[in-house]
Amino acid sequence: MPKEKLSIIKIGGNIIEDETSLNAFLKLFSQIEGKKILVHGGGKRATHVATKLGIESKMVHGRRITDLKTLEVITMVYGGLVNKNIVAKLQALQTNAIGLSGADINSIKSEKRASKEIDYGFVGDVKEVAYDSIDKLINAGFIPVFCAITHDGNGQLLNTNADTITSQVAIGMSKVYKTSIYYCFELEGVLRDINDKKSVIRRINLNTYQELLDAGIVTEGMLPKLENCFNALKKGVHEVNLGNTAMLTNENKNFTTITL
């Protein structure tokens, strides 16, 4: 029997920070048919709140150094302010969402990242996703909304990259479903020419990816994103899509789909 489809959508700070963009996205999300999960970040809001509280935000290679004070702020912001705001807006759209961290229903366990050259503090790398528990929520008619916080099983919350949570949840859920990931960001997709916002590469597989690498088209910020995508595909995810929120509509075909 073919697996049922499950869509896992991730949104970042640029959508969360702009009320109009957030409302438009959530309206689109609520209209997606079938089973679905939402994952959100909130780094920009966390930085803003930390600054107000006199806590300096330290970033290395785009990753947040998370000391105890910073962990308190991101728990308040990701798990409280941002998550509950999104859940309330979804309820207003008749979408019965339930806000979660990785600690809730023991859904996402991580281990604290070992400090080698850089001590990232209370940052977690995902080790285990309780896909069966998440599936119980989905089958009960709830839409899980995950923030970027996991736990270590010993009472410690951990800051965890939202892109990684998205791919790890998708890998876990692929044991039960045919999973598709949608990474929503500012661009329409992966671009052939960074100066031409319309030069979207519609399809990338392992062969074309190597060609893009050799030609120097895929560099810097997009490299870890695409490596993350292929890792998910190799571990059971059906497809990964990258683009702006318009890719969630049936009319828009101009985004990037990645398959093996």
Question: Token match 């590469």: residue?
Answer: 201
Q: What is the pLDDT of residue 219?
A: 75
Question: Token digits for 81?
Answer: 């302010």
Section 170-198 average pLDDT:
93
Question: Token match 């080698």: residue?
Answer: 116
Instruction: Say which amino acid occupies 227.
Output: E
245 and 208 in a single domain? The answer is yes
Cβ neighbours for 229, distance < 8 A, ≥ 6 positions apart: 167, 181, 183, 240, 242, 258
Say which range, 88-102, 110-124, 157-171, has the weakest mean pLDDT: 110-124
pLDDT one-digit tens code per residue, 45-74: 999 999 999 999 998 877 889 999 999 999
168 and 191 in a single domain? The answer is no
91 and 193 in a single domain? The answer is no
Question: Token digits for 123?
Answer: 């940052």
171 and 84 in a single domain? The answer is yes
Confidence of residue 168 (pLDDT cuts 50, 70, 90): very high
| Cα distance between residue 230 and residue 239, in whole Å | 9
Domain residue limits at 212: 187-260
* 24 pLDDT above the threshold of 90: yes
CA–centroid distance for 229 within its chain: 11
Percent of the chain with pLDDT over 90: 78
| Cα distance between residue 59 and residue 113, in whole Å | 15
Domain endpoint, select from 184, 212, 240? 184
120 and 219 in a single domain? The answer is no
| Cα distance between residue 227 and residue 139, in whole Å | 31
| Cα distance between residue 75 and residue 86, in whole Å | 15
Find the distance separating the first CA and the last CA of the chain, reported in whole Å. 23
Predicted TM-score (pTM) of the model is 0.94
Question: Token match 């859904």: residue?
Answer: 107
147 and 199 in a single domain? The answer is no
10 and 55 in a single domain? The answer is yes
pLDDT one-digit tens code per residue, 214-248: 888 887 777 878 888 999 999 999 999 999 999 99
Provide the 3-class DSSP secondary structure of residue 68.
helix
163 and 250 in a single domain? The answer is no
Q: Tell me, what CATH number does 108's domain have?
A: 3.40.1160.10
